[in-house]
Amino acid sequence: MADIATRVYNHKWKIDPIVRSLLDTDFYKLLMCQSVFRNHPDTKVRFSLINRSTDIRLAELIDEGELRQQLDHIRTLRLTRGESTWLRGNTFYGKRQMFRPEFMEWFEELRLPPYTLEKRNGQYELTFEGRWPEVMMWEIPALSVLMELRSRAVLERLGKFELQVLYARAMTKLWEKIERLRGLEDVKVADFGTRRRHSFLWQDWCVQAMIEGLGTRFTGTSNCLIAMRHDIEAIGTNAHELPMVQAALAETDAELRRAPYKVLADWHEEHDGNLRIILPDTFGSRGFLENAPDWLAGWTGIRIDSGDPAEGAEAAIAWWTARGEDPTRKLIIFSDGLDVDKIVELHHRFAGRAKISFGWGTLLTNDFRGLVPGDGLAPFSLVCKAVSANGRPTVKLSDNPNKAMGPAGEIERYKRVFSVGAQAPMDVVV
Amino acid sequence: MADIATRVYNHKWKIDPIVRSLLDTDFYKLLMCQSVFRNHPDTKVRFSLINRSTDIRLAELIDEGELRQQLDHIRTLRLTRGESTWLRGNTFYGKRQMFRPEFMEWFEELRLPPYTLEKRNGQYELTFEGRWPEVMMWEIPALSVLMELRSRAVLERLGKFELQVLYARAMTKLWEKIERLRGLEDVKVADFGTRRRHSFLWQDWCVQAMIEGLGTRFTGTSNCLIAMRHDIEAIGTNAHELPMVQAALAETDAELRRAPYKVLADWHEEHDGNLRIILPDTFGSRGFLENAPDWLAGWTGIRIDSGDPAEGAEAAIAWWTARGEDPTRKLIIFSDGLDVDKIVELHHRFAGRAKISFGWGTLLTNDFRGLVPGDGLAPFSLVCKAVSANGRPTVKLSDNPNKAMGPAGEIERYKRVFSVGAQAPMDVVV
3-state secondary structure A113-158: CCEEEEEECCEEEEEEEEEHHHHHHHHHHHHHHHHHHHHHHHHCCC
Host H or E run for residue B219: strand B218-221
Phi, then psi, of B395 in degrees rounded to 5:
-135, 140
> φ and ψ at A351, to 5 degrees?
-60, 130
Q: How far is A207 from chain B (nearest CA, A)?
A: 11
Adjacency order of strands within the sheet including A44-51: A115-120, A123-131, A44-51, A382-389, A392-393
Name residue A269's amino acid.
E
Q: Are B377 and B285 in contact (CB under 8 A)?
A: no
Between the alpha carbon of residue B145 and those of residues A175, B55, B133, B153, the distances in Å are 30, 19, 20, 12
Instruction: Express each pLDDT in B186-218 by its tens digit.
Output: 999 999 999 999 999 999 999 999 999 999 999
DSSP class of residue A424? -
3-state helix, strand, coil in chain A (%, to 5): 50, 15, 35
Residue-wise pLDDT for B349-398, tens only, equals: 999 999 999 999 999 999 999 999 999 999 999 999 999 999 999 999 99
**Helical H segments across A215-305, by residue range:** 224-230, 241-248, 253-270, 285-290, 294-297
What is the H or E stretch that residue A44 is in? strand A44-51
Question: How far does A370 lie from chain B, in Å, by closest CA?
Answer: 14
**What number is the average pLDDT over the span B94-123?**
97
Instruction: Say if residue A52 is exposed, middle or buried (CB neighbours under 10 Å; 0-12, 13-18, 19+).
Output: middle
- The CA distance from A259 to A267, in Å, is 13
* Spatial distance between the Cα atoms of A239 and A136, rounded to a whole number of angstroms: 11
Average pLDDT score over residue span B53-77: 97
Q: Residue A177's closest CA among A333, A352, A358, A354?
A: A358
* Gap between the terminal Cα atoms of chain A: 44
Phi, psi of B272 (to 5 degrees): -135, -170
Interface test with chain B among A6, A161, A173, A182, by most B beta carbons within 10 Å: A161
B13 pLDDT band (50/70/90 cuts)?
confident
Residue B234 predicted with pLDDT over 80: yes
- CA dist., res. A389 & res. A131, Å (int): 10
B421 pLDDT band, cuts 50/70/90, is: confident
**Helix (H), strand (E) counts: chain A:** 19, 11
Could you tell me the residue ranges of all domains in chain A? 14-156+378-395, 161-365
Taking CA atoms, what residue in A is nearest to B166? A172
pLDDT at position B2 is 61
CA distance A386 to A128: 9
B87 within 8 A of B104, measured Cβ to Cβ: yes
One-letter amino acid of A165: V
Three-state DSSP class for residue B132: helix
Q: Name every residue in A having a CB less than 8 A away from some CB of B.
A: 1, 3, 5-6, 9, 159-162, 164-165, 167-169, 171-172, 175, 208-209, 212-213
What are residue B113's phi and psi, to 5 degrees? Answer: -70, 170
Distance between CA atoms of residues A206 and B140, nearest Å: 39
Q: Among residues B165, B167, B125, which one has the least CA distance to residue B146?
A: B125
Q: Which of B9, B172, B212 shows the shortest C-beta gap to A1?
A: B9
CB nearest to A161's CB, from B9, B165, B213: B213
Cβ–Cβ < 8 Å for A220, A227: yes
Which DSSP string do the residues of B94-115 spell out, in sequence order?
A: TBS--S-HHHHHHHHH--PPPE
Distances (CA, A) of A196 to A16, A246, A380, B55: 19, 26, 8, 49
Residue B17 pLDDT level (bands cut at 50, 70, 90): very high
Answer yes or no: do B161 and A175 touch at CB < 8 A: yes
Q: From the DSSP assignment, how many helices (H) and strands (E) are in chain B?
A: 19, 11
Q: Which of A9, A160, A175 is the closest to B212 by Cβ? A: A160
- pLDDT for the residue A4: 72
Number of Cβ within 10 Å of residue B119's Cβ equals 12
Residue B12 has pLDDT above 80, yes or no: no
* Whole-number Å distance between alpha carbons of B128 and B125: 10
Q: What radius of gyration do chain B's Cα atoms show? A: 21
Residue A149 confidence (pLDDT): 97
CB atoms within 10 A of CB B373: 7
Binning pLDDT at 50, 70 and 90, where does residue B1 land?
low
Give pLDDT tens digits for B130-140: 999 999 999 99
Q: Which pLDDT does position A130 carry in this prediction?
A: 98
pLDDT exceeds 90 at position B148: yes
Q: What is the pLDDT of residue A427?
A: 86
- Pick one of 3.40.1180.10, 3.90.550.10, 1.10.10.60, 3.20.140.10 as the CATH number of A161-365: 3.20.140.10
Contact by Cβ (8 Å): A388, A270: no
Whole-number Cα distances in Å, B128 to A221, A303, B144, B197, B322: 57, 70, 15, 21, 43
CB B279 within 8 A of CB B238: yes
More confident residue, B11 or B281: B281
DSSP code of residue A95: B
The DSSP bridge partners found for residue B49 are B384
Q: Are A384 and A142 in contact (CB under 8 A)?
A: yes
Please name the residue of chain A whose CA is at the shortest distance from the CA of residue B176: A165
Verify whether the Cβ–Cβ distance B162 to A9 is below 8 Å. Answer: no
ipTM entry? 0.80
**Position A146, amino acid:** L
Please state which CATH number belongs to domain B160-365. 3.20.140.10
pLDDT tens digits, A317-355: 999 999 999 999 999 999 999 999 999 999 999 999 999
Give the residue on B whose Cα is nearest the Cα of A167.
B168
pLDDT, averaged across chain B? 95
Residues of chain A with confidence (pLDDT) below 50: none
CATH superfamily of A14-156+378-395: nicotinate phosphoribosyltransferase (3.20.140.10)
Cα separation, A10 vs A21, whole angstroms = 18
**What residues in chain B have their Cβ under 8 A from chain A's Cβ atoms?**
1, 3, 5-6, 9, 159-162, 164-165, 167-169, 171-172, 175, 208-209, 212-213
Chain A contact probe: residue of B164, B167, B174 with most A CBs at under 10 A: B164
Cβ atoms of residues A38 and A271 within 8 Å: no
Contact B171 A164 (CB under 8 A): yes
Task: For chain B, report the end-to-end CA distance as a whole number of angstroms.
Answer: 44
Query: Which residues touch B345 (CB under 8 Å, ≥6 apart)?
Result: B310
Nearest to B399 by CA among B267, B257, B289, B265: B289
Q: What is the pLDDT of residues B322-333, one digit of tens each?
A: 999 999 999 999
